[in-house]
Amino acid sequence: MKGTLNRGSPQSESRPTPQRPERIPDAAFAFTVCVEATERLDRFLADQLALSRTHVGRLIADGAVRVNGERARASRRLSRGDEVHVRGFADDRPLSFLVPRARPLRIVYEDDALMVLDKPAGLVVHPAPGHWDDTLVNALVARGTPLSDGATGRPGIVHRLDKDTSGLLIVAKTDEAHRVLARSLGQRKIERVYAALVWGHVRSPLEIDAPIARHPKDRKRMMVLATGRNAKSLVEPVAQFGTCDLIRVRIVTGRTHQIRVHLAHVGHPVVGDPVYHHGGSRRVTGGQRPVAQTIETAALRQALHAALLRFAHPVTRETIECRSEWPADLLPVLVAASNEDLLAGAKPLEYLGFFE
């Protein structure tokens, strides 16, 4: 439930009266919570102060937010009577300030307008609470790559991948390229194809058209919900193994965790998915259970990889197609699933006909 901050006397619990925060002499803001409870501190302050969650998250991480005189966590939920102090509301440091952090990057395609890179698993795409200076954007800044303005804190980022999903990502270098690419993305003209190892057997192509929304009780999770945003994924089987399949997934829309949520929804969760696993290897019964457990042990992360991008260049309109093979860190789980050492070779997706 959302609350309202107020320095006056407590208001009615059912109808809190919104008031502007009062500026106090030390260039901070002070509030008293006058409702029974609030949602997470970062979301609450972002809503009440009309700031981005990126800005609020940075203030909290820097220790600029105190609750009852103590440093607060972003996940803290406030209660009636809590005293909240926020320093640095008029932060002199621009929100677009980005700390350079050099790291190796695998560039698949690059010209003056854009680049396509192969993101490794474990790398966050843009700064956010908990990852202010160790993201892909920070690495691009350190590399000296020119980036479009984009959203605050997300220069150049046309679309995203989850932290533990590897694969191809487009970065815009100019504002014009970003506008054209974003429009193409919105018009569903950028083809994004993923390779995934999933539990069970996908015996025929599937069209998954199911709306996705945030889980009502766990804001870090998504779920299929009738009131969610439209989401569509197209699934095709590529190779069938003993307890799981390698599949090809084309996303028509691009919602948060879309592929993982959709596949779990239709009974084929991604192998190694720590959130939407729906039981993982425990789903497998009988004599195949030990094999399934071996596969699960080999999966150090979710077996999901953005393997192909196809789109019209924003300037030349030439068709750009980029491919990325199954990543090295997921080779052990593919070998365990297939029981075929040959797939430990350099190009298992090509060998299995994924790109055909």
Q: What is the pLDDT of residues 61-93, one digit of tens each?
A: 888 899 998 988 888 888 888 888 888 655 444
How high is the pLDDT of residue 347?
Answer: 94
290 vs 151, which has greater pLDDT? 290
Residue type, position 295, single letter: I
Cβ neighbours of 22 (radius 10 Å): 13
Q: Which fold has domain 188-311+321-356?
A: Pseudouridine synthase (3.30.2350)
236 vs 129, which has greater pLDDT? 236
How high is the pLDDT of residue 58?
Answer: 80
How high is the pLDDT of residue 226?
Answer: 95
Residue 125 has pLDDT above 70, yes or no: yes
Domain positions in the chain:
1-95, 96-187, 188-311+321-356
Percent of the chain whose predicted confidence (pLDDT) is above 70: 87
Q: Is 53 left (phi over 0), alpha (psi -120 to 50) or beta?
A: alpha
pLDDT tier for residue 44 given thresholds of 50, 70 and 90: confident
pLDDT tier for residue 127 given thresholds of 50, 70 and 90: confident
Residue 35 has pLDDT above 50, yes or no: yes
271 vs 20, which has greater pLDDT? 271
**Mean local confidence (pLDDT), 25-49:** 73
How high is the pLDDT of residue 55?
Answer: 76
What's the rounded Cα separation, in Å, for the pair 352 and 268? 20
- Name the average pLDDT for the chain: 87
Tens digit of each residue's pLDDT (9 = 90 or more) over 214-260: 998 887 899 999 999 999 999 999 999 999 999 999 999 999 999 99
> Which tokens belong to 343?
């797939």
Residue 18 has pLDDT above 60, yes or no: no
Phi, psi at 172, each rounded to 5°:
-90, 135
Tens digit of each residue's pLDDT (9 = 90 or more) over 320-345: 999 999 999 999 999 999 998 888 88
Q: Which of 194, 134, 197, 139 is nearest to 167 (CA)?
A: 194
How high is the pLDDT of residue 28?
Answer: 62
How high is the pLDDT of residue 89?
Answer: 56
Superfamily of domain 96-187: Pseudouridine synthase (3.30.2350.10)
What's the rounded Cα separation, in Å, for the pair 274 and 137? 25
Query: Which member of 42, 82, 118, 162 is catalytic?
Result: 162
CB-CB contact of 237 with 356 (8 Å): no
Extended beta strands in the chain, E state: 22-24, 28-32, 37-40, 65-67, 70-71, 77-79, 83-87, 106-110, 114-119, 166-172, 191-199, 206-209, 212-214, 222-224, 232-240, 244-251, 304-312, 319-323
* Fold: same for 96-187 and 188-311+321-356: yes
How high is the pLDDT of residue 97?
Answer: 63
28 vs 230, which has greater pLDDT? 230
> Which tokens belong to 254?
């691009």
How high is the pLDDT of residue 1?
Answer: 35
Tens digit of each residue's pLDDT (9 = 90 or more) over 149-200: 876 678 999 999 999 999 999 999 999 999 999 999 999 999 999 999 999 9
CA distances from 214 to 12, 211, 222, 276 (A): 30, 11, 4, 13
201 vs 58, which has greater pLDDT? 201
> Which tokens belong to 107?
């560039």
CB-CB contact of 164 with 122 (8 Å): yes
162 is annotated as an active-site residue: yes
Host H or E run for residue 57: helix 53-61
Class in CATH terms, 1-95: alpha beta
Q: Which of 167, 67, 159 is nearest to 120 (CA)?
A: 167
Residue 5 has pLDDT above 60, yes or no: no
Q: Which of 227, 223, 230 is nearest to 252 (CA)?
A: 230
Q: Which of 12, 16, 45, 14 is nearest to 31 (CA)?
A: 45
Q: Please state the pTM of the whole predicted model.
A: 0.75
